[in-house]
Structure 1
């Protein structure tokens, strides 16, 4: 993202959160020249995105003019797809999640069938929660490699029938609105960074049925050349059992540390487990065999992340996704990072479960849409 767009988004975020209410606040927080802030504010005022409303208390000079975000009179529709679920919600232009619900889906049904289901949920939520609000934009997070910002799926190993699909165009045609399509882990990382506010450089891992990752540095997602960065799921790890992966290789992290891998292993041992949800329930019930296997999976994820921590020296490692609800899994990741990483890099390293939880991707999509949607009142 270019610097002006970055400053624009940062200014909007500060004004929306109440951390800044004037040009002087923006100068102090963003640490840029007053002339740069004046340029950004002037552009936002011309767009109608913000308003000047009254004056604040003087701190020695002229009383500052108060800035606030203009209500756009509409909502964002946001959705995150998983292998077996769709979490769908409505978000205000200021970034507040207004409503969310989860429904079972089968990602293998293909994009058109899945998008039909999600569209029906969107419409039901709007009718119930915001019947008089116009739809400003639509955001979708998908559990596969997304070529950003074009919104096209590139070789998703666990999504038969989706490879090469232009999800962004499909959704734009359905809703006649601005559309943003992103990878689920990247959208969740943005949401987590919003929730933590002062997160610094962060490695975010979404550990659920599959495993995805993302680096947030300087408040921005690192995307790589085609927007396909963060694929930790196909990193080869020792002690994985050399199982064949959906990508065609063997020994990938996905085959031993993901929810799907755990469910498959436990089912093979005769336990009544068919999904990641069943794995979580069995772990919470303290089944010794399940707890041992989940701990081993967390350690393998820690092995895969240790090289990244040594190389990138982040301020935090955050584990999101459904498996982050298991203390034993997160603790195993933490223990392996302390064991494998250089001591100076872990002395101040925060390693913990997600704060934003299951709504992280929806919050992240709301932030992305605020960057690209037309927020001027109709």
Structure 2
């Protein structure tokens, strides 16, 4: 039997994204009985979360009543932290992204300083884009393993001073509202799933300074026993050169396929690069040495993902994060997946770059906040 809370969130997400506008749409997409959808819709109407607004076109029977989410007053503040920057935004209660800005940070400065900076950014963007709107909840995505839904960091390799930190309680004390803290790749996977039409079972990979991953199956994030699933960055890969990883091991995917790895490799060759953005710029300028290394990094990502595809048989693989903007990186990963995976598994497999782009985690946080703080 379907979980009512899960069906409620799926229905809200479908209505928010426009993929469904009626009970009939929900029945078709969710693949549940009409009576089950009627129960979910009735409760959403009673809760004031949606309203019926006019009728749609008939497909042979009675014209369907149009369902629409109600945007109550107030906003969600959402932020995704990276190694050197943060994306900060505002979402409506329906999950619609209202405004986004980016600000420079240094994740190594520690949680207290970073949260001070993010708090200032929240205040700035609310004053500019939503004056007078009350803050309803806060969502935060962090570039490390998060014990969800408790919001505590567990052994993040690239975040000195963060291990064991109770980020959720800190943010709740600061803002005095409900707070959700999640891993950045998982939040981005939720956002990506939301903007796509029926992606089926989806493996999402966030390839930026580091590499994170997530499986979305049946519309739900697979989190694992402690909520720490998706740590593809420390999968051992061949041709890694046995470089030492930030986790203390050797030969991890992070050491050869991440933005940090490319920065290191290019600097070793005497090129002036200091960040993943520099790598992207040099690739877009068609620097031959850079393009060659980026292509090899994409191939090694494909090697790591091929094992997941053979094991999980997903309907789609989506590559997000900043490196997904580079066609050569995505194409190399895609080519290696076709080369390494069983033909029966790639025959109908969709392998694409992200549609949600850099806002994927913010969109995902909007939906996670609504689901877990309602």
Fold in common (TM above 0.5)? yes
Cα offset for 1:12? 1.4
Cα offset for 1:59? 6.4
CA distance in structure 2 between the aligned counterparts of 1:321 and 1:145, rounded to whole angstroms: 17
Map 1:49-128 to 2 at 5 A. 49-53=49-53, 65-128=65-128
2:250 counterpart of 1:250: yes
C-alpha contact 1:136 1:373 (8 A) present in aligned 2: no
Instruction: Look up the match of 2:358.
Output: 358
- The 3-state SS of whatever aligns with 2:83 is coil
Cα offset for 1:349? 1.3
C-alpha contact 2:87 2:100 (8 A) present in aligned 1: yes
Cα offset for 1:107? 0.4
Instruction: Look up the match of 2:204.
Output: 204
Map 1:275-286 to 2 at 5 A. 275-286=275-286
C-alpha contact 1:237 1:253 (8 A) present in aligned 2: yes
Q: TM-score, normalised by structure 1?
A: 0.94
CA distance in structure 2 between the aligned counterparts of 1:360 and 1:299, rounded to whole angstroms: 24
CA distance in structure 2 between the aligned counterparts of 1:60 and 1:357, rounded to whole angstroms: 39
Gap runs ≥5 in structure 2: none
CA distance in structure 1 between the aligned counterparts of 2:278 and 2:65, rounded to whole angstroms: 55
Moved more, 6-15 or 298-307: 6-15
Map 1:1-378 to 2 at 5 A. 3-53=3-53, 65-374=65-374
- The 3-state SS of whatever aligns with 1:120 is helix
C-alpha contact 1:210 1:258 (8 A) present in aligned 2: yes
CA distance in structure 2 between the aligned counterparts of 1:331 and 1:110, rounded to whole angstroms: 36
CA distance in structure 1 between the aligned counterparts of 2:220 and 2:228, rounded to whole angstroms: 15
CA distance in structure 1 between the aligned counterparts of 2:63 and 2:207, rounded to whole angstroms: 50
Cα offset for 1:62? 6.2
- What is the CA deviation profile of residues 152-175 of structure 1, one whole-angstrom value per residue up to 9, with x for unaligned ones? 100001100000011111111111
CA distance in structure 1 between the aligned counterparts of 2:133 and 2:303, rounded to whole angstroms: 48
CA distance in structure 1 between the aligned counterparts of 2:262 and 2:64, rounded to whole angstroms: 58
Distance 1:68 1:283, change over 3 A: closer
CA distance in structure 2 between the aligned counterparts of 1:301 and 1:64, rounded to whole angstroms: 46
Distance 1:106 1:26, change over 3 A: same
CA distance in structure 1 between the aligned counterparts of 2:275 and 2:39, rounded to whole angstroms: 52
Aligned length: 373
Distance 1:309 1:128, change over 3 A: same
C-alpha contact 2:16 2:96 (8 A) present in aligned 1: no
- The 3-state SS of whatever aligns with 1:233 is helix
Cα offset for 1:25? 3.9
Q: TM-score, normalised by structure 2?
A: 0.95
